[in-house]
Amino acid sequence: MLLIRPATPQDLTPVLEHLRVAKLVLAGVEEHLEHFWIATNNETIIATAGLEVYGQQALLRSVAVNAAYQHQGIGKKIIATILEYAKNLEIEQVFLLTETAELYFQNLGFRQTTRDTVTESMLSSVEFLGACSDSAVLMTRALLKIRAAQPSDVTRVTEIYNQGIADRIATFETEPRNSTDILGWFDPKYPFLVAERNNVVQGFIRASSYRSRECYAGIAEYSVYVARDLQGQRIGDALLTAFLPALTAAGFWKVLSRIFPENTASRKLCARHHFREVGIYQKHAMLDGIWRDCVIVEKILE
């Protein structure tokens, strides 16, 4: 059975052997073992990932999956676990060096960066001082904080929503909203969350009423918007992951939305979170004088 857990001092020898087989750097592992996580199967280590913590930055290192267990999603699971752990440590930015897995980490939300974005203490680490070659690519990912929206977020939320209106891919609305309009979205019955990174709101997700009849009180509609220049970084995934249990806790049994058929990013987001595409409303409304269809998606909540 797969188990992902923090490493203990007793794990040091098998962790080092696991990394030796994977031909990864061993220097510094013992010093930073307290921030290592391991995946085991019947108590045998099959994957590792570790952090070196430098203030509010951290270096992700020693990511390795046993060859017999590769291509099963275990690497993504242990990385997701250690990034959540990093957030709990109030780390704001995670870095890594890679020579062969740039595309893999790019698909996990990491982006290439330069060494001048790294603190002096991290630059003095074993990996930066020569364990990884000069050809290694430096990548980074800022960690998201998902929290309830506050009135102080209104200006930024308005900006992001108006980008969605201007892009003509997410809503039938054509006139920009103002902060007073957005303040009207706050209702204790309906979850309203924002994704924050480095104290800046990156996107939001909110529920609203589906119908006024009492029999539909447990059904919510939802919409999710991410700042234009930050799309493609799985911010929507982070928001939806937190949003669905918030809906359940608020007493909703189903959530649905309407999506333009050509909005493939939103449709893929819903598919990843197991929404069902019910069908298509044809000629649902006009946008800029052109008839637009809508795909109806729904999810039954746990």
pLDDT of residue 109: 84
Residues 124 and 58 in one domain: yes
Residues 203 and 62 in one domain: no
Scanning the chain, the segments in alpha helix (DSSP H) are 12-21, 74-88, 102-106, 120-123, 154-167, 179-183, 235-249, 264-272
**Domain extent at residue 92:** 2-142
pLDDT of residue 132: 62
Per-residue pLDDT of 273-292, as tens digits, reads: 999 999 999 999 999 999 99
Residues 167 and 134 in one domain: no
Residues 127 and 168 in one domain: no
pLDDT of residue 247: 97
Residues 135 and 22 in one domain: yes
Report the alpha-carbon distance of residue 38 to residue 81 in Å, rounded: 10
Residue type, 291: W
Point out the residues of the chain with pLDDT beneath 50.
none
> Residue 119 is part of a domain; what is its CATH number?
3.40.630.30
Q: Say which residues have a Cβ less than 8 Å from residue 211's Cβ, sequence separation at least 6.
A: 219
Q: How many domains, the chain?
A: 2
Residue that finishes a domain, picked among 82, 111, 142? 142
207 pairs with which residues across the strands? 222
